[in-house]
Amino acid sequence: MDWTLEVAFLPVTDVDRTKDFYTRIGFHPDHDQSPSDDIRFVQMTPPGSACSIAFGKGIVEDPGPNVGQLMLCVSDINAARTQLLDAGVDASEVDVQPWGHFVYFDDPDGNHWNVQYLPYRYES
């Protein structure tokens, strides 16, 4: 039996601001539904990913920043950083480690993201 991670829920304080942020960095808006005045469910997926993020009103109880981190994996860390910078995101310099290269950024609510590039996967 496969166990697949398909949605990660994020705490946010301003749904429209968050949706705009993730749209600017290239996430696809899959769903934006309000089944009641107390609930708004937004689901967005990074390009090429099988896992989405979800946020909204009445979705995550604690609107404080995420203490964990989420990771995106890319085949070109410099292009990923450029895309983030072009979208107005405060992205870190590329952090080169022996096991991989990383760029870090936060969304408007302080949810932490790592962008990972593993050279051994893409370089021959």
Q: What is the pLDDT of residue 5?
A: 86
- Order of strands across the sheet that contains 28-36: 7-9, 52-57, 39-45, 28-36
The model scores a pTM over 0.85: yes
Enumerate the domain spans of the chain. Answer: 7-122
Considering the chain, what is the average pLDDT of its residues? 91
What fold is seen in the domain 7-122?
A: 2,3-Dihydroxybiphenyl 1,2-Dioxygenase; domain 1 (3.10.180)
Please report, rounded to a whole number, the percentage of residues in the chain having pLDDT higher than 90: 78
Please report, rounded to a whole number, the percentage of residues in the chain having pLDDT higher than 70: 93
CA distances from 57 to 35, 39, 54, 106, 109 (A): 11, 5, 10, 20, 14
Residues 16-74: pLDDT tens digits? 999 999 999 999 999 999 999 999 999 999 999 999 999 999 988 765 656 668 999 99
